[in-house]
Amino acid sequence: MQKFVVKEVETRKDLKKFITFVDKLYEGCEFFVPPLHKGQEYDLMKSPSLEYCKRKMWIVEDESGKVVGRICAMINPRYNEKYDKKRVRFGWFDLINDIEVARLLISAAEAWAKENGMDEIHGPLFYNTLGRQGMLVEGFDKLAPFSCLYNYPYYVDLVQQLGFEKECDWIQYMMRADQDVEPRMKAIAQRLLQRYKLKVADFDKLKKDPEVIKKFFKMYNESFDGHVYNFIPFTDAEIKAETQQIMPQLNGKLCCVLMDEDDEVAAFGIAIPSLSKAMQKARGRLFPFGWYHVLKALKNFKDIDLMINGAAPKWQNTGISSVFHCIMSEQSKAAGCQWALANPQIETNLAVNVWGRYESELWLRRRCWIKKIK
């Protein structure tokens, strides 16, 4: 019988094993998209979320010292306080198809959680809402978006054997990027633009203006708080990090920000070129040649990922989404885009119904699992 040993990640050598394990686990899998090693190291060691979150990492090794599984457990006190819970999150959950390895990983996370007074465990999740989350349960034969997790089908069986149950599902739709919006939506958008004197911001200028970016994220927090399941408003440090890392990479030809007559952010839609194939070629590293594939994908693209969209609280339920849908539709056609993959949305969120207005197909489903800690 195979013997496995669970080991806490405490050294740089262990951290490297933790990060690179998936490279070997998914070697040859055409649907897996490797995350950047440096990005993983940043998230695990330097993320601004660690200013208030606790986390521990473990790997499981076999008798030969080969890594066969990994997990990161996180406690977010802001989440627990906001939702009156005592939950630990798990993420970076990857392993071979072995129930004993799964049990060792989850048990390690649960034991640490109990020491810290937690009574439930759920995941896969990140520290906050922007990170990769949700275990794939449908769409195993689809290329994963770079911003989302991919996993083998056996993950689902293993967590169910350990007593996990569904907490929530996120779903994603695929559609032609060059299809037109319905005439009714165009008419609504035109009326709203004229009636409320809405303006389309120059996104490339906007993303360089610190004050506008602050307004953008303030509105982002307000628009999602209370409306997005498990949402936790971002701290100033998290906003600063996102601004520095993400904003410079966004293409104004694929993004839309609407300003009202008082120059306040009213609504937004953000899309990016699909980076999945470029990241597969990069194999987790930007150097020496990975950067070339990424830059090429950012400049020459046919497929896009629809990342996030929202509206300020006072503009919600006004039909303002029709405005940025129309604008982004024209942007996609002008850029020569072919396919668009919608961002993950909770299946119970009525906003997912918008994709029924287009020719679209349910493409991916991912799940957050939960169980009581005994």
- pLDDT tens by residue, 222-242: 888 877 888 899 999 998 888
| pLDDT, position 137 | 98
pLDDT at 301 over 90: yes
**Predicted confidence band of residue 353 (pLDDT cuts 50, 70, 90):** confident
Q: What are the tens digits of pLDDT across the range 115-169?
A: 999 999 999 999 998 889 999 999 999 999 999 999 999 999 999 999 999 999 9
Domains located in the chain, CATH noted: 5-169 (3.40.630.30), 178-337 (3.40.630)
Residue that wins the pLDDT comparison between 307 and 80? 80
Q: What are the tens digits of pLDDT across the range 240-275?
A: 888 888 888 888 889 988 888 888 888 888 999 999
pLDDT at 79 over 90: yes
What number of other Cβ atoms are within 10 A of residue 89's Cβ?
Answer: 26
Q: What is the mean pLDDT of the chain?
A: 92
| pLDDT, position 196 | 84
| pLDDT, position 80 | 97
CA nearest neighbour of 96 among 138, 137, 152: 152
| Most confident segment among 106-110, 186-190, 194-198, 252-256 | 106-110
Mean pLDDT of 16-26: 97
> What are the backbone angles phi and psi of residue 368, rounded to the nearest 5°?
-100, 125
Mean pLDDT of 349-372: 88
CA nearest neighbour of 271 among 235, 246, 294, 241: 246
Mean pLDDT of 93-114: 98
- Both tokens of residue 43? 């998230």
**Predicted confidence band of residue 366 (pLDDT cuts 50, 70, 90):** very high
| pLDDT, position 1 | 61
Mean pLDDT of 319-328: 86
| pLDDT, position 168 | 95
With beta carbons less than 8 A apart as the criterion, state whether 105 and 95 touch.
Answer: yes
Mean pLDDT of 37-57: 96
Residue that wins the pLDDT comparison between 196 and 61? 61
| pLDDT, position 354 | 79
| pLDDT, position 228 | 81
Rounded Cα–Cα distance for residues 256 and 268 (Å): 5
Q: For the chain, what is the HEC assignment? A: CCCCEEEECCCHHHHHHHHHHHHHHCCCCCCCCCCCHHHHHHHHHCCHHHHCCEEEEEEEECCCCCEEEEEEEEECHHHHHHHCCCEEEEEEEEECCCHHHHHHHHHHHHHHHHHCCCCEEEECCCCCCCCCCCEEEECCCCCCCCCCCCCCCHHHHHHHHCCCEEEEEEEEEEEECCCCCCHHHHHHHHHHHHHCCCEECCHHHHCCCHHHHHHHHHHHHHHHCCCCCCCCCCCHHHHHHHHHHCHHHCCCCCCEEEECCCCCEEEEEEEEECCHHHHHHHCCCCCCCHHHHHHHHHHCCCEEEEEEEEECHHHCCCCCHHHHHHHHHHHHHHCCCCEEECCCEECCCHHHHHHHHCCEEEEEEEEEEEEECC
**Predicted confidence band of residue 93 (pLDDT cuts 50, 70, 90):** very high
| pLDDT, position 120 | 98
Mean pLDDT of 194-213: 84
